[in-house]
Amino acid sequence: MANGDHDSPRRAGGLFLDECSRWQLMMRETHGMGWTRVSTEVVHQGLFLSLFRDFVIRPDGSRGTYEHVAVDDTVRVVALDGQGHVVLVEDDFCLQARRVLHLPGGGTSGQEPCTAARRELAEETGRTASEIRALSIIDPLPGVTTARTHLYLATGLREGPPSREATEAAMQVITMPLSAAVAAVEDGRITEAGSVVGLLLAHRYQKG
């Protein structure tokens, strides 16, 4: 998925965003852990995200505001071939203004995470998997959004043609031993949060 987690919605108009917004509002009736939401307002509603301002009562009883972003959940896929090599993608990221090496993945676009993981793997790399299993779920930016990243391990790979979006025109597939990808995490070449956690978990799974 090109440009971080901003893949194009697979549905017409703003349907994806409307559904995401309704879900976020439902989840934010109270913040929990002493936070209470009194009311909320939409500051900005765009094609890929919404910005909300909540009027809240803080844990100490004082009143204030809390701004946060509503976006779709995302997926990252650790795809391993029969030789223990992992399939990565490298692409131009607009905000980082550099090429970023990361695991295949993107927004769920309203799909179940496992279905979205299979779709993103096929679209970005052309690979399909005979088996896919959940590794974990992470909260990459819990102070900014409730969106979560679902991590999967895919095996039994078959190659085919990718089906990328226009924003992914510069994307390249890179395969390397899983141990080499872990080394890239350790030396700072791979920095995207879901990719870092997914690779480390897959490495532990492979070893044990």
Q: What is the arithmetic mean of pLDDT over 152-160?
A: 98
3-state secondary structure string, 93-136? ECCCCEEEEECCEEECCCCCHHHHHHHHHHHHHCCEEEEEEEEE
Quick check: is 145 in a domain?
yes
Distance separating alpha carbons of residues 164 and 170, to the nearest angstrom: 10
Q: Does 94 lie in the same domain as 194?
A: yes
Q: Does 83 lie in the same domain as 52?
A: no
Quick check: is 8 in a domain?
no
What's the structural domain count of the chain? Answer: 2
Confidence bin at 54 (pLDDT 50/70/90): very high
Confidence bin at 204 (pLDDT 50/70/90): very high
- CATH, residue 115: 3.90.79.10
User: What pLDDT, in 10s, does the model give residues 115-146?
Assistant: 999 999 999 999 999 999 999 999 999 999 99
- Its domain, for residue 33, covers 15-70
Q: Does 150 lie in the same domain as 59?
A: no
Q: Does 189 lie in the same domain as 138?
A: yes
Q: Does 81 lie in the same domain as 63?
A: no
Do 157 and 81 touch, CB atoms closer than 8 A?
A: yes
